[in-house]
Structure 1
Amino acid sequence: MTSQSISRALLRHHGDVDAEPGLVDYAVNVRLARPPGWLRDRLAAALDRLGSYPSAADHAAAAQAVADRHGQPHDRVLLLNGSAEGFALLPQLRPRLAALVHPSFTEPEVALTDAGVPVHRVQLSADDGYRLHADLVPENADLVVVGNPTNPTSVLHPAADLLALTRPGRTVVVDEAFIDAVPGERESLAGSDVDGLLVFRSLTKMWALPGLRAGYVLGAPDLLARLAAHRPQWPVGTLALEAFRACSEPAALAESERAAVQFETNRVELIGALNELPGVRVNEPASAPFLLLTVKDGLHVRTALRERGVAVRRCDTFPGLGVDHIRVAVRTPEQSEPLLTALREVLA
């Protein structure tokens, strides 16, 4: 399958489809099976407020908490019904040409293509470790979208390389959905005030909130106003507003940092174990809570793993990747053992 032949339906394929009930899940990159107890308690305490519409004061308090967390003014924060909503809003910027850095999360391409925006795929090379080079982006692209760290390659691009994409008249969107799993959130641009920069963040992965839909975007107030121009009233619910506040507090940030350090340790151990398997190549360096693997006869491997009760993420739905690519989530060594055992059996 070539990158140009990927259908809209495949572009909308995500890891939750691969992780069917009853399978050991290495397809979805959510840290926990459920939100931590302190966060569940906060959300439960907010249930009594569901009888009222989210107020402007509630919304402002949540936005201020996020702004304080990143050292930004409150008017540089737009709270979202999941960061995926932000990608769906990108056509509101009315770009003339959107350059999408691939392989990467595909929802921005779906939203822009559906809106009739011309799209240019900036295809990064496996031979170069999927590293970003600014000169690959067309000069006339007035919207650029890139993930950091990138899903599914696990590549963390230097902040300087991302800033090199900015210029007058261009909006650069950096999807940082997984950067809270990077120790120190190094290379993050969330604290930047560079003109034309939009940074998307998510609470989903670190805090096990995919069912709540809570994300946000940081950027210049005029850009945020253009994104939000046609949103419905009350776009973010009471529970999500509570989650924004709770997950921006110092105790939560300290837990997130500890988890990021643990991810780094677990990733190194998992890479070592995978590199011992015949016919497996791990894309390195890797910085995210998942790894991109190249395996021979990938469709057979995925099918055989599923027969053994193990779910991994197919990657032929990402432009530039094929059936021999799979993505696996980084877990603790104990949690990773069923994956490694199944892979040893299949590859043998």
Structure 2
Amino acid sequence: MFQDSPRTVDAAMLRHHGDVDARPGLLDFAVNVRGSAPPEWLRARLVARLADLGRYPSAADDRAAREAVAARHGRDPDEVLLLAGAAEGFAMLPRLAPRLAAVLHPSFTEPELALREGGVEVTRVVLEPPYTLDSAEVPASADMVVLGNPTNPTSVLHPTAAIEALRRPGRLVVVDEAFADATFDPQQFDMAATGDGHARPDPQGGSAEPESLAHLSAPDLLVFRSLTKTWALAGLRCGYVLGHPDVLARLAHGRPHWPLGTLQLEAIIATASPEAVAEARQQAQRIAIERTAMVDRLTNLGVDVHTPATGPFLLLRVPNGDLVRKRLADNGIAVRRADTFPGLTPDHLRVAVRAPEAVDHLIDALKVALW
């Protein structure tokens, strides 16, 4: 389904994000950041650089961060552009001057807003449930295609083969992998839930970051990554984009000098280390366990949960969604309204995957809010 007319686009809806729903004092299921602060080891790394803030970030700092990211993904440092959060990179997309950008929805709305504000013609490709990606639905004339993987807010993970099917001569495929490091292949998991809301993981494994294209070096592919969610760095704004050096140079054209500060560069270096990647993998395993238990509990309550889900969040559908969201807030629970995502309705809500103790409060509040 296509929705082409910019006259019908509400910029305020596209600009709405979960932090608006998470008012102070509410138990936060609206924002997908894991934890309220970075882990202690990462905080220590950042504190150790405070004494360097009297100096400008150096070219060596930038190079070290790009080398760390490149090593983490098996890329060349020239294929890495560091960002003050992935959203900064989306704001750069109009510099590539596409004639027609196709944005797949429901998905994170910032790329569409940035493209429209940059004067780019945008067509929406709105996927219907179960939100399966079909390259035939994308207009052949689109020379840029933007999608999320896993997709926020549906928690759908598209197969790499389906994404690669989007590639055409003269077309750039832009993949938002902001939540890729929070995904884990459940096929090798024993995910049977126990009575206390936990599940039993198979210690042998599963694979981290399934369906990621971060390793693929190609001139027609851009992959955006964020450090905000897994490492609780929303207030520091850290991310990067992987792509061909020529495309990255066009993205960065006109960018001010010193675009990232010393602490941002240090955070990127630290979280790209093998030890940090291993920690993120363990966290992705925990998310998979918590997500399965959470789906079971919500489903048993009669809530419509979109599955399969692969991200650190779930898409729900409930009757009278606006009223349910208000009742949840009145009972101390913040959830993300999802009608701001093209293709969804006021009855759709997004909830972050949380530990069983927090889910207890959500379930109790839902028992009141749904009836």
Does the pair score TM above 0.5?
yes
Instruction: Give the corresponding residue for 2:276.
Output: 252
Aligned pairs (5 A) from 1:1-348: 5-126=8-129, 129-183=130-184, 184-278=208-302, 280-348=303-371
AA at the equivalent of 2:255 = R
CA drift at 1:131:
1.2
Cα distance between partner residues in 2 of 1:79 and 1:10: 28
Q: How many percent identity over aligned positions?
A: 59
**CA deviations over 1:23-61 (Å, ceiling 9, x no partner):** 000000011110000000000001111100000011001
Q: Is the 8 A contact 1:64 1:74 kept in 2?
A: yes
AA at the equivalent of 2:62 = H
Runs of 4+ in structure 1 off by over 6 angstroms are none
Cα distance between partner residues in 2 of 1:174 and 1:243: 23
**CA deviations over 1:52-82 (Å, ceiling 9, x no partner):** 0000011001110000000100000000011
CA drift at 1:347:
1.4
AA at the equivalent of 2:176 = D
Total equivalences in the alignment: 344
Q: Is the 8 A contact 1:199 1:218 kept in 2?
A: yes
CA drift at 1:194:
2.4
Cα distance between partner residues in 1 of 2:342 and 2:254: 30
**CA deviations over 1:289-323 (Å, ceiling 9, x no partner):** 00000100000000000100100000111101110
AA at the equivalent of 2:180 = I
Cα distance between partner residues in 2 of 1:115 and 1:247: 32
Q: Is the 8 A contact 2:219 2:247 kept in 1?
A: no
**CA deviations over 1:176-213 (Å, ceiling 9, x no partner):** 00010012101000000122100000000000000000
Cα distance between partner residues in 2 of 1:244 and 1:191: 17
Cα distance between partner residues in 1 of 2:149 and 2:353: 17
AA at the equivalent of 1:233 = H
CA drift at 1:336:
1.1
Cα distance between partner residues in 1 of 2:349 and 2:270: 34
Report SS of the residue matched to 1:205.
coil
Q: Is the 8 A contact 2:166 2:173 kept in 1?
A: yes
**Structure-2-length-normalised TM-score:** 0.91
CA drift at 1:346:
1.3
Cα distance between partner residues in 1 of 2:144 and 2:281: 32
Pick the structure with more helix per residue: 1
CA drift at 1:233:
0.7
CA drift at 1:214:
0.3
Cα distance between partner residues in 2 of 1:160 and 1:342: 41
Report SS of the residue matched to 2:31.
coil
Q: Unmatched 5+ residue regions in structure 2?
A: 185-207
Q: Is the 8 A contact 2:86 2:238 kept in 1?
A: yes
Cα distance between partner residues in 2 of 1:193 and 1:58: 24
Q: Is the 8 A contact 2:99 2:143 kept in 1?
A: yes
CA drift at 1:6:
4.8
CA drift at 1:137:
0.5
Cα distance between partner residues in 2 of 1:194 and 1:162: 13
Q: Unmatched 5+ residue regions in structure 1?
A: none
